[in-house]
């Protein structure tokens, strides 16, 4: 798993435990704080501890301000367009270059794609293209990849100088799909009204921050972000994950409860989300908290792609070890001694 | 369509005043009835009488029940000629009593002794008794959709003197000629068969489902066949049907007239009206991008040369173009601008 550092501030954590599990290593950017609260311990002494935990997300972009962590990430490096099961067009993307795309494959014939321009801001990334095809019902699928496609299937430093493939040869796609979507339209002759296709991000990995140990009956709050395969947090406007919901489970059962334990909707904006872990077994114990997704899209897309771990997220996108301490007891002891005289 | 409901029995009985034997009948163009009569007596009378009838169908409220005939249900007046001589003009009102009102009746050696209508089947038979000289005669009957002379529907028009031929108004509905050779005395009655004058074509365009540019005009698609329906009506807006087997100004032609070859179709040259009321049809196939103009045409004067010698113009006869319709054809191609976000 990639090494990440998620900033979190833990405040008002009162533990009666002899040892407290620490968070991750301190990072540089004190990103949004995460408050973890546990109930007061049964015994004194009490102590409050706070620590900043930060994470950084490595990106190809020089500036974090330029990142657009959306489901259609500006870190995306390739896009494929289908009409039903027919691959129409594949382009490698370099959104901060002009042109922003390099055609890898373009189907010829009655159905063609003319790729337009792409733009991105701090919050959005969009690309436009125009499909020319026959009138009638069509289902267009768009799939975004985190890596360049073509003979040089491994990610290249940039798309500059890359020789486009023969337009007659569809590439062998590589990389885990970062987002996809479908547009079903009944086309009229001529120029049809423009359509906007909102892609759904594929939950591929998860960043988290939080204590790894809790006392009996304590509530530990974790911060997390669900990302796609381009390392961008998946946010709205896509109102679902392509492989959602993301469920949070703990094994073995009976040691902790987790709330919420299912995340169906991406957040509206970039930032941490939270879930809590409550130790509910006085005997304590160690659990593995898992973040689970579907291994295929919720939607049966018309493209008819075959999904596997080679091109789609696995069933578990992150695990967190967590330990619950056994309940503690206080025993008042009075020691009587005889004063020497 | 206007709902004219008219039943005019028109019987014209010709009584020949002079006992001259008949000459040859004039050419009866469409449905002439040559009825030579042999003098029955060695001492011929000086005049010949001849009842000439015209059947006018009853106006029926229900269009489904209409029985359009070569004599239009919309007949409101009729005129009878002997050669170029106007013998009789009568207005017809189905609900009046008497149904026929004389506008003009010629008197003299060749004249009309009277006109009357009687119910006959689904219409009325109007008969005028003509008194004229024995020998060959060509009697023409011309029907109009409006009343002539003092007719109530001729707003502001003063009733014509019975001795003054009216100035005819309205486009002729139908006309026909009966060539007979009369003998002295009372001749057998004859019924004039009139031919409907194709005045306008009413097209019912195919039901198109494709809007150009999404919400534009309904268009046809190149390579697709479309069926038009049409009916050929007279000036009273009643469909002309058999009998007889021809139009007065036929054949009716239907063809693409824009010259652009936008559609392919088998040009229609329709000599005979349909045997029964109801739409006829033809098919076209969109072949090129553009708007096809499909025109229905007919002659702007009768096919036959009637003995009446009427002068035909746009005021009393249809023009050469009796209807047009259009079909816009576009390629089977659609463009769809898509924005992916």
If DSSP states are collapsed to H, E and C, what string results for B143-191? EECCCCCCCCCCCCCCCCCCCCCCCCCCCCCEEEEEEEEECCEECCCEE
Nearest CB among B213, B331, B338 relative to A191 is that of B213
pLDDT tops 90 at residue A13: no
Torsion region of B73: left, alpha or beta (phi above 0 gives left; psi -120 to 50 gives alpha):
alpha
Cross-chain residue pair A190–B332, CB shorter than 8 Å: no
User: How far is A163 from B115, CA to CA, in rounded Å?
Assistant: 98
Question: What percent of chain A is predicted at pLDDT more than 90?
Answer: 52
User: How far is A240 from B310, CA to CA, in rounded Å?
Assistant: 82
Judging contacts by C-beta atoms under 8 Å, the chain B residues touching residue A198 are 341
**Among the ranges given (A45-59, A82-96, A323-337), the one the predictor scored with the smallest mean pLDDT:** A45-59
Cross-chain residue pair A189–B210, CB shorter than 8 Å: yes
Nearest CB among B221, B336, B341 relative to A131 is that of B336
pLDDT digits (tens, 9 = 90+) for A270-308: 899 999 999 999 999 999 999 999 999 998 999 999 999
Torsion region of B103: left, alpha or beta (phi above 0 gives left; psi -120 to 50 gives alpha):
alpha
User: How far is A110 from A127, CA to CA, in rounded Å?
Assistant: 23
Between the alpha carbon of residue B161 and those of residues B86, B106, B127, B148, B158, the distances in Å are: 14, 11, 21, 12, 9
Q: What is the pLDDT of residue A211?
A: 95
Q: What is the pLDDT of residue B30?
A: 38
Q: What is the pLDDT of residue A15?
A: 26
**Among the ranges given (A50-54, A313-317, B181-185), the one the predictor scored with the smallest mean pLDDT:** A50-54
Domain boundaries, chain A: 64-201, 205-305+315-324
Whole-structure pTM value? 0.69
- How would you write the pLDDT of chain B (341 residues) with one tens digit per residue? 333 332 232 334 322 222 223 333 333 333 334 344 444 445 556 788 888 887 665 554 333 333 334 567 788 999 999 999 998 998 888 778 788 888 888 877 788 876 777 766 656 778 888 888 899 999 999 999 999 975 334 433 334 335 578 899 999 999 999 999 999 999 998 888 889 999 999 999 999 999 999 889 999 999 999 999 999 999 999 999 887 889 999 999 999 999 889 999 999 999 999 989 999 999 999 999 999 999 999 999 999 999 999 999 999 999 999 999 999 999 999 999 998 88
Q: Give the burial class of B339: count Cβ atoms within 10 A of its Cβ; 0-12 exposed, 13-18 middle, 19 or more buried.
A: middle
Contacts of B312 (CB under 8 A, 6+ apart): B300, B301, B302
Cross-chain residue pair A185–B336, CB shorter than 8 Å: yes
Count CB atoms within 10 A of the CB of residue A112. Answer: 15
Residue A55 Cα, gap to closest chain B Cα (Å): 27
Q: Give the burial class of A152: count Cβ atoms within 10 A of its Cβ; 0-12 exposed, 13-18 middle, 19 or more buried.
A: middle
Cross-chain residue pair A128–B335, CB shorter than 8 Å: no
Judging contacts by C-beta atoms under 8 Å, the chain A residues touching residue B341 are 70, 72, 124-126, 196-199, 237
Judging contacts by C-beta atoms under 8 Å, the chain A residues touching residue B338 are 128-131, 140, 142, 183, 194-197
Chains A and B form CB pairs within 8 A to the count of 111
Interface of B with A in 227-286 (CB under 8 A): none
Cross-chain residue pair A199–B341, CB shorter than 8 Å: yes
Residue A194 Cα, gap to closest chain B Cα (Å): 5
Residue B264 Cα, gap to closest chain A Cα (Å): 20
Q: What is the pLDDT of residue A121?
A: 65
Q: What is the pLDDT of residue A111?
A: 86
Residue B206 Cα, gap to closest chain A Cα (Å): 17
Q: Give the burial class of A279: count Cβ atoms within 10 A of its Cβ; 0-12 exposed, 13-18 middle, 19 or more buried.
A: buried
Q: What is the pLDDT of residue A243?
A: 96
Interface of B with A in 75-134 (CB under 8 A): none
Q: Is B210 on the interface with A (CB under 8 A)?
A: yes
pLDDT digits (tens, 9 = 90+) for A94-151: 877 888 888 888 888 888 888 888 877 655 578 889 999 999 999 999 999 999 998 5
Q: What is the pLDDT of residue A18?
A: 27
Q: Is B329 on the interface with A (CB under 8 A)?
A: no
Output A269 or B253, whichever has higher pLDDT: B253
Beta carbons of B200 and B262 less than 8 angstroms apart: no
Nearest CB among A70, A185, A189 relative to B212 is that of A189
Nearest CB among A72, A188, A190 relative to B340 is that of A72
Q: What is the pLDDT of residue B71?
A: 63
Q: How far apart are the first and last CA of chain A?
A: 68
Residue with tokens 């798309």: A159
Between the alpha carbon of residue B15 and those of residues B23, B160, B179, B181, B186, the distances in Å are: 16, 24, 15, 13, 7
Q: What is the pLDDT of residue B109?
A: 76
Nearest CB among B330, B334, B340 relative to A142 is that of B340
Interface of A with B (CB under 8 A): 70, 72, 79, 110, 116, 124-135, 138, 140, 142, 181, 183, 185, 187-199, 237
Q: What is the pLDDT of residue A33?
A: 32
DSSP at A311: T
Residue of A nearest to B335 (CA): A132
Q: What is the pLDDT of residue A165?
A: 42
**CATH code of the domain made up of A205-305+315-324:** 2.60.40.3450
- Whether omega before A245 lies within 30 degrees of 0, making that bond cis, reads yes
**Which domains can be identified in chain B, with CATH numbers?**
10-196 (no CATH), 200-330 (2.60.40.1930)
Torsion region of A161: left, alpha or beta (phi above 0 gives left; psi -120 to 50 gives alpha):
left
Nearest CB among A125, A131, A188 relative to B211 is that of A188
Mutate which: A188, A194, A198, A200, vs B, most B CBs within 10 A: A188
């Amino acid at each position: 798993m990639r090494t990440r550092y998620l900033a979190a501030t833990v405040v008002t954590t009162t533990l009666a435990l002899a040892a407290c599990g620490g968070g991750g290593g301190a990072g540089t950017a004190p990103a949004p704080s995460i408050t973890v609260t546990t109930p007061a311990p049964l015994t004194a002494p009490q102590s409050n501890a706070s620590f900043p935990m930060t994470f950084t997300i490595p990106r190809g972009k020089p500036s974090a301000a330029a990142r657009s962590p959306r489901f259609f990430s500006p870190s995306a490096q390739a896009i494929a367009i289908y009409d039903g099961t027919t691959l129409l067009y594949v382009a490698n993307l370099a959104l901060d270059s002009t042109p922003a795309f390099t055609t890898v494959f373009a189907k010829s014939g009655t159905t063609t794609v003319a790729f337009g321009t792409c733009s991105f801001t701090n919050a959005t990334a969009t690309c436009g293209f125009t499909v020319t095809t026959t009138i009638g019902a069509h289902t267009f699928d768009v799939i975004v990849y985190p890596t360049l496609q073509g003979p040089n299937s491994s990610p290249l430093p940039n798309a500059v100088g890359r020789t486009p493939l023969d337009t007659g040869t569809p590439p062998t796609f590589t990389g885990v799909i970062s987002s996809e979507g479908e547009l079903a339209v009944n086309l009229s002759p001529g120029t049809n009204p423009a359509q906007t296709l909102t892609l759904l991000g594929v939950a591929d990995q998860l960043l988290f921050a939080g204590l790894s140990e809790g006392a009996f009956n304590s509530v530990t709050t974790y911060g997390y972000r669900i990302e796609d395969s381009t390392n961008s947090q998946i946010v709205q406007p896509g109102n679902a994950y392509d492989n959602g919901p993301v469920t949070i489970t703990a094994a073995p059962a009976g040691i902790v409860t987790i709330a919420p334990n299912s995340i169906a909707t991406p957040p509206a904006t970039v930032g941490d989300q939270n879930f809590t872990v409550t130790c509910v077994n006085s005997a304590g114990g160690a659990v593995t908290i898992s973040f689970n997704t579907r291994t295929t899209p919720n939607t049966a897309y018309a493209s008819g792609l075959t999904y596997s771990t080679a091109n789609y997220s696995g069933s578990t996108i992150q695990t967190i070890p967590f330990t619950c301490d056994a309940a503690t007891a206080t025993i008042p002891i009075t020691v009587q001694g005889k004063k020497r005289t | 369509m206007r709902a004219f409901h008219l039943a005019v029995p028109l019987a014209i009985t010709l009584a020949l005043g002079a006992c001259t034997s008949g000459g040859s009948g004039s050419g009866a163009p469409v449905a002439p009835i040559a009825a030579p009569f042999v003098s029955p007596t060695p001492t011929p009378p000086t005049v010949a009488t001849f009842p000439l009838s015209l059947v006018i169908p009853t106006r029926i409220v229900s269009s489904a029940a209409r029985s359009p005939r070569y004599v239009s249900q919309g007949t409101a007046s009729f005129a009878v000629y002997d050669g170029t001589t106007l013998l009789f003009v009568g207005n017809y009102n189905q609900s009046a009593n008497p149904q026929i009102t004389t506008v003009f009746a010629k008197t003299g050696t060749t004249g009309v002794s009277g006109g009357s209508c009687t119910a006959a089947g689904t219409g009325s038979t109007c008969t005028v008794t003509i008194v004229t000289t024995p020998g060959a005669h060509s009697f023409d009957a011309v029907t109009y959709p409006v009343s002539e002379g003092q007719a109530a529907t001729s707003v502001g028009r003063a009733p014509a003197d019975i001795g003054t031929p009216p100035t005819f108004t309205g486009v002729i509905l139908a006309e026909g000629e009966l060539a007979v050779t009369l003998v002295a005395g009372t001749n057998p009655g004859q019924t004039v068969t009139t031919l409907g004058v194709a005045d306008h074509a009413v097209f019912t365009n195919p039901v198109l489902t494709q809007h150009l540019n999404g919400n534009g005009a309904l268009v046809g698609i190149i390579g697709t066949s479309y069926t038009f329906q049409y009916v050929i009506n007279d000036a009273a807006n009643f469909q002309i049907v058999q009998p007889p087997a021809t139009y007065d100004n036929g054949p009716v032609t239907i063809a693409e007239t824009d010259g652009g070859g936008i559609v392919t179709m088998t040009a229609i040259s329709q000599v005979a009206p349909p045997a029964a009321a109801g739409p006829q049809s033809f098919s076209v196939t969109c072949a090129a991008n553009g708007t096809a103009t499909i025109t229905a045409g007919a002659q702007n004067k009768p096919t036959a040369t009637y003995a009446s010698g009427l002068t035909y113009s746009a005021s009393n006869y249809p023009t050469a173009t009796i209807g047009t319709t259009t079909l816009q054809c576009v390629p089977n191609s659609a463009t769809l601008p898509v924005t992916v976000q």
